[in-house]
Amino acid sequence: MFARRHPFLFFLCVICACFTLGLVAVSGVAVIGAFAVNSEIRSAIASTKGNIGVVEVTGPIISSKKIIQDFQGFMNDDAIKAIILRVDSPGGGIGPSQEIYRELMKNRDTKIVIASMGSVAASGGYYIACATQGIVANSGTITGSIGVIMEYANLEQIAEKIGISPVVIKSGEYKDMGSPMRKLKDSEKKLFQHLVDELHAQFVFDAAAARNMETDVMAKLADGRVYTGQTAMKLKLVDRIGNLDDAVQWAGQMAGIEGELTPVYPKADKMTLFKKLAETLFQDVNLGTRLSEQLRYVFN
C-alpha cells in the first residue's frame, strides 16, 4: 500500500536500505580482517624496544585525539629519539587539523619529527605535515590541495516531491543559512565565502610559517590544485623524495642516533572485536554527515 501511494519515497527508502546493508557488509569484512592482522602486527611491534616512534595519520582527519595521544606518548618516552609522522590522508576537519598542527609546532624544538607521505597527503594532510622539521614524499604522492571547501546538497526539490515542508523558527536572519531544505541567499553566500576566505588565509599563513616560506609565495601555490611529490619538491613544499624507510634514516641522522634505527608504533588499543566493528560502522555511516557539517581542509 505504501509503495503504491508514495512510489518515489518507497524507491528512495529501498536505495538507502541497500546502500546501508552493503556498507555494513563491506565494513564488517574489512574490519574483521584488518583488526586481526593489525592486532598481530602491532602486538609484535609494540613489544619491541625502538628508538624512532611512528605516528600514523590514515584516512580522513575527523578527530585529533588519538593522533595527539600517540605523539605525546612518544614525546614523553626518553627511549624515543625521533618521531615519524606517517601521513596517508586527504585531510578533513579544520579544527582537528589545526589541533594536530599546533601540537607538532609547540614541540618542534624538543624532538626531531619528520613527515613521511604515503599515497595522499593533501589539504589537511599537508597542513599537519608542514609542522614537522622535514617532509619526505614519494615521487607519485598526491599532495598540495591547499585550500578550504564547504559543500552541501540542496534537497528542496526532493522535499517538494515527497510532500515535506520544512518549518523553521529561528532567532536571527542567518541562523538557518546552509540548510539543505532551501536555496542559499546571495547575502548568505557572501558570508560563507568570507568565512572560507578567512580560513584559507589561516592555512596559507600557517603553512608558510612552518615551511619558512614567504606568505605571498605560498599563496600563489594555494589555489586548491594538487601536486605530485616530485613537483612539490621543486616548489619547496616538500624536502626530499623517498619512502618511509628514507624518512626513518633521515630522522635518525638529524637526531644523532648511533647504531641500528628501530621504528616502533604505538601500542594497539585494548578494544574488543565487537567494539571495534561497531565503532568503525558508526564512523562509516556518519562520515559523510559529520564532514559535510563543517568547513574542511580536504582534497575531494
In this structure, is residue 128 part of a structural domain?
A: yes
Q: The C-alpha cell of 79 is what? A: 627511549
Position 176 in a domain:
no
- Give catalytic residue positions: 123, 175
Q: 628508538: which residue's cell?
A: 51
CA distances from 268 to 25, 42, 43, 207, 259 (A): 24, 6, 7, 31, 27
- pLDDT 10s digits, 101-131: 999 999 999 999 999 999 999 999 999 999 9
Rounded distance between C-alpha atoms, residue 270 and residue 273, angstroms: 10
Which cell is 283 given?
564512523
**Residue 221 belongs to domain with CATH number:** 3.90.226.10
Q: Tell me whether residue 188 is in a domain.
A: no
Q: Is residue 195 part of a domain?
A: no
In a domain, 72, yes or no: yes
Is residue 225 one of the residues assigned to a domain? Answer: yes
Quote the domain boundaries for residue 98: 2-151+214-298
Q: Is residue 199 part of a domain?
A: no
Give the bridge partners for 130, in sequence order.
none
The average confidence (pLDDT) of the chain is 82
Number of H helices, E strands in the chain: 11, 10
CB 52 within 8 A of CB 264: yes
Q: Does pLDDT of 34 surpass 60? A: no
Is the predicted pLDDT of residue 285 greater than 90, yes or no?
Answer: no
pLDDT digits (tens, 9 = 90+) for 67-108: 999 999 999 999 999 999 999 999 999 999 999 999 999 999
pLDDT of residue 37: 39
> Does residue 67 belong to any structural domain of this protein?
yes
Q: For the whole model, what pTM was predicted?
A: 0.78
Tell me how far apart the alpha carbons of residues 35 and 149 are, in angstroms, rounded to a whole number.
Answer: 33
> What's the number of domains the chain is made of?
1
Task: Supply 163's cell numbers.
Answer: 510532500
In whole angstroms, how far apart are CA 218 and each of 83, 117, 212? 26, 19, 10
Coil, strand or helix at 39: helix
Cβ proximity of 70 and 98 under 8 Å: no
DSSP 287: H
Cα(284)–Cα(253) distance, integer angstroms: 40
pLDDT the model gives residue 178: 82
The one-character DSSP state at 118 is: E
Q: Are 191 and 177 in contact (CB under 8 A)?
A: yes
- 197-251 pLDDT per residue, tens: 999 999 999 999 999 999 999 999 999 999 999 999 999 999 999 999 999 999 9
Give me the amino acid identity at 286: N
Please state the separation of Cα 121 from the chain's center in Å.
Answer: 9
